[in-house]
Amino acid sequence: MDGTLVDTEPYWMAAETPLVESFGGTWSHEQALSLVGMGLEDSARIFQEAGVRMGVQDIIDHLTDDVMRQLATKGVPFRAGARELLADLRAAGIKTGLVTMSLRRMADTVVDLIDFDAFDVVVAGDEATRPKPFPDPYLQACEILEVTPDEVVAIEDSPNGLRSAVASGAAVIGVPLMVSLTGAGAHVLWPTLEGRTTADVASFHAAHRAEEAAR
């Protein structure tokens, strides 16, 4: 979700710096980038190491509340082409799932702002048995959707997300935003989702599976 469907990574970063500084620490842009796509519990422990004297769940709740306040005041910045591709997939009858490390309450807030029924399933960070980069969140989504990973195309913007999706067995498209995805394992990199259609996704999937079968 964050960085692939919506460009909320700047909101997270804007929440992180004052939190660390309130405990007398410092937080750099590079440190913020290192958390992109990471599970919230793992991120919270890094904030503890940076001097934030709060419990893991308290840190998660604090940051989530801050980002949700920003969403309410600044709006939801959907990434170019994301809603349009989702609408095209839905019109074609393709099952869709949202796999995010954000809390369910935040995921629901973003999904509710899409003006059509965009997802068959949402697997959020507080529902995953293990967070990205483990494959669990994607495997959980596959199980609920009643599909096998080789039938799936995953779209991700972060190295951790890519590793999770690739480990699940899905065909994976990387769409970079805040951090480089070079060498992170994506089967293909698209600079943007703008102008992309169901036919593009299906063509990529078919080509990837043909390549896998030829090995």
One domain for residues 129 and 206: yes
One domain for residues 37 and 138: no
Q: What is the mean pLDDT of residues 20-37?
A: 91
Among the candidates 47, 74, 101, a domain finishes at 74
Going by their DSSP bridges, the two strands 188-189 and 153-156 should be labelled as unpaired
Q: Which domain holds residue 43?
A: 9-74
Q: What is the mean pLDDT of residues 123-147?
A: 96
One domain for residues 116 and 207: yes
Q: What is the mean pLDDT of residues 49-63?
A: 96
pLDDT at residue 48, as a whole number: 96
Give the angle subtended at the CA of 48 by the CAs of 43 and 53, to the nearest 5°: 135
Give the angle subtended at the CA of 189 by the CAs of 119 and 112, to the nearest 5°: 20
**Inter-residue contact 88 to 197 (CB < 8 Å):** yes
pLDDT at residue 39, as a whole number: 83
Distance CA(61)–CA(154), nearest Å, equals 28
One domain for residues 107 and 59: no
One domain for residues 91 and 60: no
Give the SS3 label for residue 135: coil
Q: What is the mean pLDDT of residues 58-77?
A: 91
pLDDT at residue 55, as a whole number: 97
Let me know if residue 1 belongs to a domain.
Answer: no
Let me know if residue 4 belongs to a domain.
Answer: no
Q: How confident is the model at residue 189 (pLDDT cuts 50, 70, 90)?
A: very high
One domain for residues 104 and 194: yes
185: left (phi over 0), alpha (psi -120 to 50) or beta: left
One domain for residues 63 and 93: no
Q: At what angle do helices 9-22 and 56-74 cross, to 10 degrees?
A: 130
How many independent structural domains does the chain possess?
2
One domain for residues 61 and 147: no
One domain for residues 91 and 122: yes
Distance CA(143)–CA(214), nearest Å, equals 27
pLDDT at residue 37, as a whole number: 76
Residue 76 has pLDDT above 90, yes or no: no
One domain for residues 111 and 189: yes
Residue 9 has pLDDT above 90, yes or no: no
Between 39 and 163, name the one with better pLDDT.
163
